[in-house]
Amino acid sequence: MKDVTIINSGFAYGGFTSGSEGIWTRNEPTDPPAPDYKSLSERLRTPVSHIVQPYQAGGGKAAVVSSENGGSGVIKDSAFKKTDGLVTAEKGLVLSIIAADCVPVYLVDKYAGVVGLLHCGWRSAAGPLLKDAVGLMKGLGSVPGDIQVYIGPHICADCYEVGAEVREVYVHAFTEKELEKIFIARGNSLYLSLSQAIRSKAENEGIPDENISVSEECTCHDPEFYSFRRGDKGRQNLAYIMINTTEQGAENNVPVQNTFKS
Ligand SMILES: [Zn+2]
């Protein structure tokens, strides 16, 4: 089991955890919350009815979440179907997504008081998901220049060998210069840097390069995380973020113990 703090700024709190079982979904909307969600809720001192999980589909859809959506996908049917990005301006509401090698992307605008969380697989990293989420954040008062992007633990470029069919999709989504950074050729093999793809997408939305940081954690390298590529089936890690209430902000305002490179 492994927990990583991604954001602890007083304004917002975000993390990435394998949980103890790695089970964050239920078979039926009427089933009780997964035990890992119950432990997370205790740790965050936030009721499960304030946590939201979408039904992810590896696509490009993002949605704005408000307090009436609390508990969606955790204690009741999710209001967010085939959705891979969530955005909110509400304090004390926890956005969450599951990932096992895919990239959790945390978006934070403390000036506008808005956060977002995306689940980016290789397809959505090349698609409109980030652009759409930033668009929703702008609708809530965000300015791209004020958005901080934290690219959380995911499968790193050393581990992520891909086929030529992936590059064929990326050729239509990125410039030749961007592709040079996104793909790494070693021998006859091709490796994909998902973080570079997301960085390019973020920069294209007007988010400054210095606002973007990348976690050095790799879900595939580190056996304490769940990894699809390493063979974990049905067990995943959870990424989550919340805007602190004033009380939580005061309690959580301690330095982040995490390794990030910019
Ligand atoms: Zn790796």
Q: CA of 23: how far to CAs of 13, 117, 237, in Å? A: 22, 19, 8
**Is residue 9, in this structure, part of any structural domain at all?**
yes
Give 219 Cα–ligand 1 centroid separation in angstroms: 7
Domain count of the fold of the chain: 1
228 CA from centroid of ligand 1 (Å):
12
Q: Is residue 214 part of a domain?
A: yes
**CATH number, domain containing residue 79:** 3.60.140.10
> In this structure, is residue 166 part of a structural domain?
no
Mind listing the pLDDT tens digit of every residue in the chain (262 residues)? 999 999 999 999 999 999 999 999 999 988 999 999 999 999 999 999 999 999 999 888 999 999 999 999 999 999 999 999 999 999 999 999 999 999 999 999 999 999 999 999 999 999 999 999 999 999 999 999 999 999 999 999 999 999 999 999 999 999 999 999 999 999 999 999 999 999 999 999 999 999 999 999 999 999 999 999 999 999 999 999 999 998 777 666 554 544 555 4
Find the 132 Cα to ligand 1 centroid distance in Å: 28
| Gap from CA of 3 to ligand 1 centroid (Å) | 17
Considering the domain boundaries, does residue 26 fall inside one? Answer: yes
In a domain, 23, yes or no: yes
Task: Answer whether residue 164 is part of any domain.
Answer: no
Domain boundaries, position 139: 3-155+207-261
Is residue 184 a part of any domain in this protein?
no
Say how many Å lie between the CA of residue 165 and the centre of ligand 1.
21
Residues 6+ apart with CB under 8 A from 10: 244, 249, 250, 252, 253
Distance (angstroms) between ligand 1 centre and the Cα of 202 equals: 22
How close is the Cα of 147 to the center of ligand 1, in Å? 27
How far is the centre of ligand 1, averaged over its atoms, from the C-alpha of 140 (Å)?
A: 36
CA 97 to centroid of ligand 1, rounded, Å: 21
CA of 222 to the centre of ligand 1 (A): 8
Expressed in angstroms and rounded, the spacing between residue 229 Cα and the centre of ligand 1 is: 10
Residue 169 alpha carbon to ligand 1 centre in Å: 23
- The CA 106 to ligand 1 mean position distance, Å, reads 20
Is 175 part of any domain?
no
Ligand 1 centre from 84 Cα, in Å? 23
Q: Give how far Cα 221 sits from Cα of 158, 177, 190, 217, Å.
A: 9, 28, 18, 8
- State the pTM of this model: 0.95
C-alpha 101 – ligand 1 centre gap (Å): 9
Alpha carbon of 178 to those of 92, 109, 158, 172, 195: distances in Å? Answer: 37, 26, 18, 11, 12
